[in-house]
Amino acid sequence: MGGGARTAYQVGVLKALTAMLRLQSPFEEDFPFQVLVGTSAGAINAAFLAGQAAQGLAAFDQLSAFWSRLRSQDVYRLQVAPWLRFSRLAVALNLWTRARTDGAILDTMPLVDTLHRAVNLGGIEDAFEQGALDSVAITGSSYTTGVHWTFCHAGEDRWREPWSRPGRRSEFQPITIEHLMASSAIPFLFPATALWVDGRREYFGDGSMRQVSPLSPAMHLGAHKVLVVGVGQPQRAGFAGGEATNGAPGIGAIAGHAMASVFHDTLQADVEQAQRVTRTLQQLPREVAAVLPYRSVEVMSIQPTQSVDALAQAHAHELPAGVRRALGGLGAARGAGALASYLLFEQGFVRALMALGEQDAYARKDELLAFVSGRAA
């Protein structure tokens, strides 16, 4: 799953997993996953890893290095005149005008340049040819039709029939930078991206929107075990960010709550459902389970054990000055951790998230190793 800058947490989890695998089997450097599925900024992580999968575990080292170099200026631009912060109406009008003109508040051309330099799309085919990877999938939500699409790139011997379910479909086509921009287009903040599906042009936004079954693409692509690394958090409602007078939620609280609903709220429900179905199938007689239109899928989920909003609040001062002025002018600066956490591509916050990911992974070391490698520590 994705969530803007919060996605650095995934990098910490994978960094710890890489260290565990190397310690367990020092001479094995094979890439440990056969299918990669990503949504929003998680799509960027998935595509980056797919492009380096032929390098084995070194792919995770390179992903960590990529995030360690990343800055907000590499992702987006927002210019807000200093004097605007003193007038909420002026800020609102300025941002509304920008959104009307550009389709979004932020300019994401820096991200286009960053991805062209960082993501090795040609390496995906190399990974297929060398057997390091079976398939990679990126999800996006069509503003044009409302359909949630999964774009799948697979080796020739792994080609599968596209699937179609109510409100969600798939199509097999090579992954491009445009797919990554579409999947990571946070609503209102990042502009929509045009993609071709069914022989026509449609405009896409963040893949987390209308994603009712986040695990479905991995299952359709043949996964029997799914490691899910989300970026949700415990008790987010208690730190949604920003309060108006009399305890009523301010714009920061409302925006943070809306973002969390878009990015995280469907994931845990889908994980629980998959685990429940698997437990039920395992309890049925084998001959009965064999005729049912379901199959067992082992799912392990890792999510932050600490408040990402609180972590972002502590690093909110690192935001670019224009973004801070915009939040301040909109009355969302106070307690703006929830909203800021999606935009804080700065090294203090990124390092803190990666450290939290490593900490959470090591806390479940035996379980994680047994799940990924089939062997306990």
Tokens linked to 163: 């699937």
Say which of 40, 72, 142, 208 is annotated catalytic. Answer: 40
C-alpha span between 372 and 332 (Å, rounded)? 41
User: For the segment 167-200, what is each residue's pLDDT rounded down to a tens digit?
Assistant: 899 999 999 999 999 999 988 888 999 999 988 9
pLDDT in tens, 272-289: 777 787 777 777 787 776
Per-residue pLDDT band at 157 (split at 50, 70, 90): low
Residue with the larger pLDDT of the pair 78 and 76:
76
Mean pLDDT (the chain, rounded): 84
Q: Give 117-156 pLDDT, tens digit per residue.
A: 999 999 999 999 999 999 999 999 999 999 999 999 998 7
pLDDT value at position 209?
Answer: 81
Our answer to whether residue 206 is catalytic in this structure is yes
The confidence score (pLDDT) of residue 69 equals: 94
Is residue 47 within 8 Å of 152, Cβ to Cβ? Answer: no
**pLDDT beyond 90 at 230:** no
Catalytic choice (206, 270, 309, 360): 206
Higher-pLDDT residue of 300 and 234 is 300
The residue assigned the tokens 């690394």 is 229
Percent of the chain past pLDDT 70, that is, above it, reads: 79
Cα separation of 337 and 126, whole Å?
41
> What integer pLDDT is reported at residue 45 of this predicted model?
97
Is a pLDDT exceeding 60 seen at residue 63?
yes
Q: Which of 50, 354, 9, 7 has its CA nearest to residue 179? A: 50
Tokens of 377: 């520590």
Q: Is 301 helix (H, G, I), strand (E, B) or coil?
A: strand
- Flag the least confident range among 56-60, 199-203, 265-269: 265-269
Q: Tell me the residue type at 168.
A: R
DSSP string, 155-171: -GGG-----EETTEEEE
What's the start-to-end Cα distance of the chain, in Å? 27
- In the residue annotation, 107 being an active-site residue is answered as no
